[in-house]
Structure 1
């Protein structure tokens, strides 16, 4: 190893290159695989992290001790002898085997100085900030969630010796370690994938921080910190604004806060922040949702919130009880959204700006009815939603395929209009684990958000133009999925097919979760949730009223037949009503009025009905058009001379009814997306024919449309 010189000319510790560091840690992990007490990376990574944490802390302490001595001040150690790394771990020939395990694990043990005293973990957990060093509280909290699962003290000594080869004494080495540490975090989330853990891509984190632009003096919170990505990025952003000693103190002590209840991410978050320069990270090790929402006052509020809260999870009843009765839900994302709204300060910040948030939310939070709608109503009324960024599909690949958005909002006037925007990826580029979203593709959206300019990738939506469900899941009205304008272009067709494959993967992932929930739901009679409507148009009939029919292919459609001689007898079809032909419902001839633009009148011979508040009409629509639904329909007409199914028989059909209306909506959304995908694939099939014609035309025809072989002479015999 090359050695460097300290300022005083003495030899310094050897510089640790990225290659050497990677080799050291890989060797340590190979050793860990031999130990019977560790089971997979979810055991190995925490062990490696707490060992590195103690080595890093000791290097930092020694560096600060030297700096303090030069300034003539008295140094206060966070960890005292003989529990410092240099006391028990630095000597490669130091304590090992059962003696090492006892020193680390036991409440009382023989220490490295030969005296009896608390074991290492017992000592670390007992630390407090009574000496004025807040890092002691951090260390104590970290090690309350840590244990040593290694069974072999000899293998543990080998790992300690490997980590002892890492030196945390220069900014270059810290940068090297930071890069490698991020790779460890990626491996940790790979290992945690089965338990639903996934973390926000760096490009998205950086973009959210830069758009919210925290200013020195403002407080920044991530209530679902994970491994600290948002807090590290916010710290780096704020550090550039430090000009004085007072600025540095404010940044270190009064600016960054987080919350992470899981012990492994909590430990990783602490080390991540320490590595990047935050001396005593203020990370709450409890669940951020554990406090009653109504009791969170102005003192608990902050200026800026940056977070990607967990979604798709379910919180226990005790946690749900902390929220207003009409806003209680098991969906974690909706609970966090309410918490974030409550935690933003009401008054302008010290920088004279409104308190603001940037939050990653799934599509369902923007479109689901029930609790989600009531939350959106408050969000639109009490906050200004400045922008919603539609993240590309697979942005979290391979950890989840759930489609998501970043929503930016701030305290102040109610929302008047929202700027939507989406990043432009290269044609045909599909995100994956090895092909992440690059910052250069999302960075241009900062200018669009600031200017509120409408382009091909940004569009404004007025609050007054939202539907009655306050649906905020609004697609780009100008965007066509890889336009079919050049139908003979194979590059366009290839890009289309990749896009369709991505969409199919996303729908598959969504249905995998939803179908499991539906499978656990009780089966109930439609009679309990549906009501027939016999409302006739009567004297209110006007020739301008649209006449509606139903078909197995399109659902609600415009019939080819003209209205009959008695138009006053025709039935009224309102928004969310369902209608079907009683003689053709067995082949799927049923439709649902999805919005106000589809309202009209329909044949007096059709059955018209609607649903109660606990059952979505589109959910019923997709069930009755399914194979299972058509089977039940056929069972209700056995013995009939001619197939007819009226509402009396239909209402006796059973259907699985998820109690959570959001589950029904997620299923409906997935089915609607599949219907759209089917239409796009039909168009792509036609495009493939055009590509075939273009290929043969370019190969076999000359300009002017003549065959390429223009010889008129006959072949020789």
Structure 2
């Protein structure tokens, strides 16, 4: 109803805009949450605390970003999470605490979320159920759990700016999570490497983009950020959301990638929890193929015998994960599709099954570029040298361009406190040129090899830069020792592959 102000004029009510949260405020909230979790006897270290925070944060974000948003758009919308399990019923009720609250979370809330299901493939109930299958509340104090939920409840998701800020803060949490995971033998792709691989893949709207070993979603988020401003309609945006696809085997990274994509604006992420090698083997039909694969598959380990056995009829008798992923990726690409993949040096020079898979790669795809990364790119977790392979499924390889990324001047390697920076790819990106790659020229870091020469050499792709000097008299002793260590590591890799290809007990 119109009203008059104190001067007798018609007053106009202006909606109060919600106060945007700054990054510092969000970081402060996350710090408070972690301080609370440190007091609980059930949580030991960040590998316990960060998943605990993530599933609570997921439910809060899902309530605001999906449930409330869909209710505002559709009055007939039926919530995926019904009362009394929705956030408003237990997350916003601050007096619900102590042993009663703890019992509700453990015996009612989490079992309910695990039991959600729908026959509709795109229903968020199926996503929630999959996420929470192996999620458990590890906190032992109902009072501390209430305090933690209260902190998360106070985090604002009122605007896209808030969500973007929260996503930025969450990525810093994921970095710490990845650092902690590295201590237990898992390591993830550095962000500069991801960004370079996405940019040099020249993504286009309408393409299906898959990471079959997506971890916490670095490649998927970067690909989405590259394309999210291009849709001109809701239909195109929905298609983009469906086209960002992932597969993740382990429950913890699966929870983290779903949370990561949700915070970046994809309300029903198209990520499945499965063994990617089995999944891709079972879905080997044209309708499951994709336009682009961006991935850093696990390497340096062996797959289960039962999984490796599924590849025997393809003549690929190996348990080495990197080889099985490379073979599967080639099969998964559509004609004309493209791939950017991280592989260790062992995959470049390996013979036997490895040579057979590389022959398949060069016969069916145009392996146009191999970017050789500096030593220690995954330091401090592993010193295994890595490479970026770029190929298109457009016909056989005729020649391969190599580009060697040098260490920055004055640097001997990388560490957790001194990681690689994106700027180190600048010269390579300039040399690469456009999508057509027509302006490439040889220089001190770039050279090319004909496919016939690679074939004659037994498909060895571990080729040294011919422009690099190798005057032993003038090379520093530390550099010579590092080369000897690398040679020994390469020999060990070859022996491990030989042992795996022979099988246990032979």
Which TM-score tier does this pair reach, normalised by the shorter chain? 0.7 to 0.9
5 Å-filtered alignment, 1:214-225, equals 214-225=203-214
CA displacement, residues 393-418 of structure 1 (integer Å, 9 cap, x when unaligned): 11112222110101011112211100
Q: Measured at CA, do residues 322 and 131 of structure 1 come closer, stay the same or move farther in structure 2, by a change above 3 Å? A: closer
Q: How far is the alpha carbon of 1:31 from its aligned partner?
A: 2.1
Q: What is the distance in 1 between the residues matched to 2:120 and 2:354?
A: 48
Looking at CA atoms only, which structure, 1 or 2, has the larger radius of gyration?
Answer: 1
Q: CA deviation at 1:11?
A: 4.7
Cα deviations by residue, 1:473-502 (Å, 9 ceiling, x for unpaired): 112111237x899x7xxxxx8xx5775676
Change (3 A) 1:294 1:415: farther
Deviations 1:354-413 (A, max 9, x none): 111111000111111111111111111111101000011111122221101010111122
1:240 maps to 2:229: yes
Cα pair distance change 1:133/1:462, threshold 3 Å: closer
Question: Does structure 1 residue 309 correspond to structure 2 residue 316?
Answer: no
> Which of 436, 453, 461 is the aligned partner of 2:419?
436
Give the drift of 1:58: 1.7
Quickly say closer, same or farther: Cα 1:215–1:464, change in 2 above 3 A: same
Q: How many Å apart are 1:206 and its aligned residue?
A: 1.1
Measure, in 2, the Cα distance between the counterparts of 1:291 and 1:169.
38
Listed as ranges, the matches of 1:195-206 within 5 Å are 195-206=184-195
Measured after TM superposition, the shift of residue 12 of structure 1 is: 5.4
Quick check: 1:401–1:505 contact (8 Å CA) kept in 2? no
Residue in 2 that maps onto 1:384:
366
Displacement of 1:103 in angstroms is: 1.0
CA distance in 1, matches of 2:77, 2:137: 30
The answer for unaligned runs of 5 or more in structure 2 is: 1-11
Q: For 2:332, which of 339, 343, 353 is the aligned residue?
A: 343
Would the aligned equivalents of 1:301 and 1:343 in 2 still touch at CA under 8 Å?
A: yes
Partner residue in 2 for 1:98: 99
CA distance in 2, matches of 1:500, 1:11: 67
Query: Structure 1 residue 192: deviation in Å?
Result: 1.6
2: CA distance between counterparts of 1:176 and 1:373? 47
CA distance in 1, matches of 2:394, 2:418: 39
**Does structure 1 conserve the Cα–Cα contact (< 8 Å) formed by 2:212 and 2:247?**
yes
User: 1:406 aligns to what?
Assistant: 388
> Does residue 146 of the first structure (1) align with residue 135 of the second (2)?
yes
Contact 2:54–2:256 (8 Å) recurs in 1: yes
- Counterparts of 2:56 and 2:376, CA distance in 1: 34
1:459 aligns with 2:478: no
Quote the offset at 1:191 in angstroms. Answer: 1.8
In structure 1, the residue matched to 2:80 is: 78
CA contact (8 A) 1:59 1:167 kept: no
Q: CA, structure 1 residues 294+124, in 2 after alignment: closer, same or farther (shift >3 Å)?
A: closer
Number of the residue aligned with 1:686: none
> Structure 1-normalised TM-score?
0.63
Work out whether 1:35 is the aligned partner of 2:40: yes
Partner of 1:16: 21
- Equivalent residues of 2:373, 2:406 under 8 A apart: no
SS of residue in 2 equivalent to 1:399: coil
Equivalent pair of 2:241/2:270 in contact (CA under 8 Å): no
Q: 1:36 to 1:304 in 2, by over 3 A?
A: same
Secondary structure, aligned partner of 2:449 = strand
User: Residue 67 and residue 261 in structure 1: after superposition, are their counterparts in 2 closer, same or farther (change >3 A)?
Assistant: same
After superposition, the Cα gap between the structure-2 partners of 1:310 and 1:263, relative to the gap in structure 1 and judged at 3 Å, is same
Q: How large is the RMSD of aligned CA atoms in angstroms?
A: 2.9
Q: CA deviation at 1:145?
A: 2.4
Cα 1:501–1:75 shift into 2, 3 Å: farther
Pairs within 5 Å for 1:564-575: none
